[in-house]
Amino acid sequence: MQPKLCVNIGKLKLKNPVMVASGTFGYGEEFKDFLSLKKLGAIVSKTITLKPRSGNIPPRTCETPSGMLNSIGLENPGIEKFIKDKLPVLKKAGVPVIVSIASENDPNEFVELIERLEKLSGVSAFELNISCPNVKHSHVKGLIAQDSAATFEIVQMARRATSKTLITKLSPNVTDIVAIACAAEEAGSDGLALVNTLTGMCIDVEKRIPKLGMAVGGLSGPALRPVAVRMVWETHKRIAIPIIGMGGIIDTQSALEFILAGACAVSVGTANFINPMASLEIVNGIKQYLEKHRLSNINALIGSVRA
């Protein structure tokens, strides 16, 4: 008998627990020649804002030991062009589409974005990106995801605006991620995405200038993974809603770390730039792991680390 890989996040049903992370997979079309999109658990779109954004000044990326820094600044075409040009392509993928959304100046922008997308076919769920370290918000000091009260307010507003699955993406740039996670759960989030990038900086020692145009950026890749796994493990012990683990997942073993720590699903990000097939290799690898250990269901693994 084939092991069951399907998992649920709120109303969202995934045929397997492997999705691709926002900002690393474009809008699906960019990867369609490299892999069969319909074999993914879900696709998370590049984050969308109400108005088009040109993003941050270059350079926007640089390599780091076991990772990379990025300071893209949520470059995107805005909601109108997303609906007209990008969503139709995403719909053809044949898997659930999670639309990542963010505000720029006003928290009500989250509600407006949801209202524009709520009744459109092809939108399976929303990811509230309240944790991007490369965008400044005028309505909150620092990141929304660094403040429990602000997180609760945004999630509650979004919850009232949609009946679809709502996922809140949290930041590792906090002293107590569990407190933020609990606020999101209490406000009505169906699931959590843990974690976004960790703020970092690289300097060109010959030129004596930062390697990124904005000086600092978000650290992703394997260097982030131990921090992310720890945060998933801590959070899983305190909340009841599902967790999507992310942060340095490059292969089956790293994906399994998150699942054993308490994630019901994983999201592949930076690895997509290195190996476009990484996500599907992980799907097959998880299946083989379950077969090897004679487990009939992926749910038997979730949070099963002996610690």
Half-sphere exposure of 21 (CA within 13 A, CB side): 28
Give the integer Cα–Cα distance in Å for 272 and 68. Answer: 13
Please say whether the beta carbons of 228 and 245 come within 8 A.
yes
Q: What are the helix (H) ranges across the chain? A: 79-81, 87-91, 108-117, 148-161, 177-187, 225-236, 252-261, 271-274, 278-292
Which residue is associated with the tokens 């020692």? 205
Structure tokens at 288: 């083989």
Give me the sign of the Cα torsion angle 84, 37, 277, 197: positive
DSSP assignment of 142-208 equals: S-GGG-HHHHHHHHHHHHHH-SSEEEEEPPS-SS-HHHHHHHHHHHT-SEEEE--PEEEE-EETTTT
**CA proximity to 25, closest of 78, 119, 97:** 97
**CA proximity to 45, closest of 11, 21, 69:** 21
**Candidate list 62, 132, 182, 264, residue with the active-site label:** 132
Please say whether the beta carbons of 169 and 100 come within 8 A.
yes
DSSP assignment of 60-111 equals: -EEEETTEEEE-----B--HHHIIIIIHHHHHTT-S-EEEEE--SS-THHHH
Query: Annotated catalytic, 132?
Result: yes
Give the integer Cα–Cα distance in Å for 296 and 194. Answer: 26
- Please confirm whether the linkage preceding 195 is cis (ω < 30° from 0): yes
Active site residues: 132
